[in-house]
Amino acid sequence: MRIAVVDDEAEQRELIESFLARFACEQRREIIVDTYCNGFDFLSVFDQRYDAVFLDIQMPELNGLEFSRMVDTHTRIVFTTAFDQYAIDGYRVNALDYLLKPISYADFLQAANKAVKWFELLQQPQEEIESIFVKSDYKLIQVELKNILYIEGLKDYIKIYEENSPKPILSLMSMKSIEELLPASRFIRVHRSYIVQKDKIRIIDRGRIVFGKNYIPVSDSYKQIFQDFLNKRS
């Protein structure tokens, strides 16, 4: 597992680095840690692929929120800051967690465990993934793939609709991020705002996928992909 620490304060970099060393020892897990004093230094040598980045929000020249939007979606962000006013902004860029300075080891431990769960999920062959973790109401919720009917994108949020569930799961993440988590063998994007599970499709009415009373449109840009999928099953 490879983790980067980006903070303009040397004391904070050393603190998180020491926490990671302690965590690695307790978990008997190999963790490679690289530290950077600003986002530009990190980006200049970003030939390494990191699983997680502990990222300070308030840094000169390039702040953490701006920087996080340049990071590969494979890499999960844990924001660190002295100001809780940035919490909601952190979740808008799909941060894994948010740590308020001064950081305690107990708070760090929660974030580190979330990072490990993410890392272990990515290590599974995609075809074998049976569940994903999404954030909802500041909690990580495990969602069984077999239960998902479809996913709807709403600007900064997504809604995950499940079988036999009256309410969808609301999560502050992008359609791109959720699409990258889902195995392409089981899910298909049919619209900029909709992803559906292939095996859950039962009725197609005039180019729309029907789930009960809900009709999912297939947009022009995805019609050929969807038609190819149907042809393989006809």
160-211 pLDDT, tens per residue? 999 989 899 999 888 888 998 898 889 999 999 999 999 999 999 999 999 9
Whether the link from the prior residue into 102 is cis, omega within 30° of 0, is yes
* CA nearest to 168, candidates 189, 179, 153, 182: 153
Residue 174 makes CB contacts below 8 A (sequence gap 6+) with: 94, 153, 156, 158
125-148 pLDDT, tens per residue? 655 678 999 988 878 899 999 999
Asked if 30 contacts 1 with a C-beta cutoff of 8 angstroms, the reply is yes
11-47 pLDDT, tens per residue? 999 999 999 999 999 999 999 999 998 877 877 765 5
Q: What pLDDT does 117 receive?
A: 86
Asked if 3 contacts 51 with a C-beta cutoff of 8 angstroms, the reply is yes
Token code pair at residue 140 = 């990580």
Asked if 113 contacts 119 with a C-beta cutoff of 8 angstroms, the reply is no
All domains in the chain, ordered by first residue: 2-123 (3.40.50.2300), 128-232 (2.40.50.1020)
> What is the C-alpha separation between 83 and 92, in angstroms, rounded?
16
> What is the C-alpha separation between 230 and 223, in angstroms, rounded?
10
73-105 pLDDT, tens per residue? 678 889 888 876 654 454 445 678 888 889 999
Q: What pLDDT does 93 receive?
A: 53
CA 52 to chain centre: 11
Which ranges in the chain belong to alpha helices (H)? Answer: 10-27, 39-44, 64-68, 87-92, 105-123, 175-181, 220-232
